[in-house]
Structure 1
Amino acid sequence: MKPLFVRGPSPLLRMIVAVILSLGLIIADHHYDHLGAVRSTLTLAAYPLHYVVDLPAHMVRDTQGRLTSAAELRARNAALHRENLTLKARLQQFEALEAENMRLRDLLGSSFNVGERVLIAEIMSLEIAPYRQQVMINKGSRSGLFVGQPVLDANAVMGQVIQTNAFTSTVLLITDAEHTLPVEINRNGLRSVAAGTGLSQQLQLLHIPKNADVRVGDLLVTSGMGERFPPGYPVARIKTVRHDPDNPFTTVIAEPTAALDRSREVLLVWTMDPALQQRAITETQPEETAPRP
């Protein structure tokens, strides 16, 4: 009677044969490269299986990458936005510094023309009201300022110090209704007094005879009278000359050449006679105030 199942080689023998065949194939492939075409064909056939197996992991990685990229893009966008705002703010500061540098250059240029001891101060606050034209600067008696000291900007006379303390001073502008300034016409030397009108861009010359040689556009400079302002400082230009029949004098209106409503820095000068300056400083220190001129 024949058996139902033919007994084959033992499992150990099969394993030994398989190992020998595998080693033979590896050696043959390594030395002779005869199985490259077969390996490529098997790899191509197995590619769909590899793709299907790797698809879930690939989808997870892709989703994580997209989420991470979106978060990074939002973070980068926010960082760039902050950096843009910072750069814009710095640009504004640079523009302000450039403008300030130009103003300081103008002031230094005028100080070279003055040829005297000078000090640059910054305007802290201003009081521009009808018939009231004053500013406060950030220099005081500790810096040597005294009542009556001339104050200029890069273009012309602005006013004079009327009150000081240790760290600040008050400057009365030439347009204040209580300020008067001895001037002369630069063209012909005609002397007069320029009085403030309380308006920021207007001075009036007092007691000009009707036959006086006064023309629109004439430059007014300090005459040196009154021992406050030395002669030769620009003050204003004549804007209007009017002859009124009912007025025994000519009405002369002048416009200050100083930028009274735009200057940020002012120039303090020491041009007074040393004896008068010392007396002014001595009178300033006890009271720190003085009557307006």
Structure 2
Amino acid sequence: MRLVLLALVSVLLMTLDHRQQLADPVRQGLAAVVWPVQQAVSLPIEASQRLGEHLASRQQLVDENRELRRRYLLDQARLQRLQALEMENQRLRDLLGSSGQLGETVLIAELTRVDLDPYSHLIQVDKGSVHQVTVGQAVLDAEGVMGQVDRVGTHGAMVRLITDPSHAIPVEVNRNGLRTIALGTGDLNRLELGSVPINADIQSGDLLVTSGLGGVFPRGYPVAEVERVVLDPGEPFARVSARPLAALDRSRKMVLVQGGALGRMPDLPAVEAPAVPSASEPAPAPGAVPPEEAPDAASPPAAVPGEEAQ
């Protein structure tokens, strides 16, 4: 009977609650009391989920940033030749009717060490002979030419910067094609141009690009910008200084240009060595004419210049 009575009371209460919402105040009060307990229980789970999402999004951003930096470096290394190619195309379009092709293979390297010797500008990169790096290979950053590979190890290489006192790079003025040589001065912010005639057409603001002479540096890459031109009437050559465009003291990533045949000289035609007379044959006397080249006895002698006039 007690069970039946309690069941009838429960049914009555549920019916009244469903129709009149009599238990809402009690339910709201219990929810307010239980809410801190629910939050305390779910806090570790929510914290772990948020931490996982934060780490995943951060790692994703780091990966995307690294990929974008790599693409930016490659694009800048390819696009920095655009101005030089446009000027060259403008000068040669009437003669050639075609534009140049960018066909070099590049390898991205990262700075690992800087030589502290104040008399040489050397840096070390993390690419070596196992990555097909060779001595003399051109090195660039996103702005211009940095230098060339000086020594190669198995997993690293030493790069000599263009400002090293012992370094010289053939360049040309992009505006008019004037060729000269940019010499290192030991100052990271200054290059000197050697043997520039005093009447040469060069001025401040001119862009210097690689001329391609020497077979080391590909043609058309920016090197420096002319800053000062000093003309002394008593000197046969002008004193010209330029500012390197590459960030020699800030770049950590750089591009090694693998130009393939850039460092090879063209094959010369074979020249036959003159025949050496054997020991059994007498050597011809000095001034003697070989028999096959001797004039025919029946043919008249050649006229001596001036003889006809006489």
TM-score by length of 1: 0.61
Cα distance in structure 1, aligned partners of 2:168 and 2:70 = 30
CA distance in 1, matches of 2:152, 2:214: 21
Give the 3 Å change call, closer, same or farther, for CA 85–245 of structure 1 in structure 2: farther
Whether the aligned pair in 1 keeps the contact of 2:140 and 2:254 (CA below 8 Å) is no
SS in 1 for 2:61: helix
For residues 238-287 of structure 1, the C-alpha deviation after alignment (integer angstroms, 9 at most, x for no partner) is 1222346897643322122334333613032224254689xxxxxxxxxx
Aligned identity (percent) is 35
Distance in 1 (CA, whole Å) between partners of 2:160 and 2:144 is 15
Name the SS of the counterpart of 2:107 in structure 1: strand
Aligned residues: 231
Of the structure 1 ranges 244-253 and 231-240, higher mean CA displacement relative to structure 2 is found in 244-253
1:13 alignment partner in structure 2: none
Q: 1:119 aligns with which of 101, 106, 123?
A: 106
Report if aligned partners of 2:216, 2:263 keep a CA contact under 8 Å in 1: no
Aligned to 2:255: 266
Structure 1 residues 131 and 249: CA distance shift in structure 2, 3 A: farther
- Which residue does the alignment assign to 2:285? none
Larger radius of gyration: 1
Question: Structure 1: where are the runs of 5+ without partners?
Answer: 1-17, 27-34, 45-50, 278-293
Structure 2 counterparts to residues 167-178 of structure 1, below 5 A: 167-178=155-166
Change (3 A) 1:269 1:40: closer
How does the TM-score come out when normalised to structure 2?
Answer: 0.59
Three-state SS of the structure 2 residue aligned to 1:166 is: coil
Shift of the alpha carbon at 1:136?
2.5
Aligned counterpart, 1:87: 57
**Aligned partners of 2:101, 2:122: CA distance in 1, in Å?**
24
Asked whether the equivalents of residues 140 and 166 of structure 1 are also in contact (C-alpha less than 8 Å), the reply is yes
AA at the equivalent of 2:160 = L
Once the two structures are TM-superposed, the CA of residue 162 in structure 1 deviates from its matched residue by 0.8
1:237 maps to amino acid:
E
Alpha carbons of 1:117 and 1:212: their partners in 2 closer, same or farther (altered >3 Å)?
Answer: closer
Aligned pairs for 1:1-293 (under 5 A) are 66-77=36-47, 79-81=49-51, 83-107=53-77, 115-127=102-114, 130-243=118-231, 249-260=237-248, 261-262=250-251, 264-270=253-259, 271-274=261-264
Q: CA RMSD in A?
A: 4.2
Which amino acid letter does the alignment assign opposite residue 223 of structure 2?
Answer: V
Superposed displacement of residue 172, structure 1: 1.1
**Distance in 2 (alpha carbons) for counterparts of 1:232 and 1:105:** 16
Equivalent position amino acid for 1:144 in 2: Q
- Compared CA separation, residues 106 and 264, structure 1 to 2 (3 A): same
Q: Displacement, 1:165?
A: 1.9
Change beyond 3 A, Cα 1:102–1:196: same
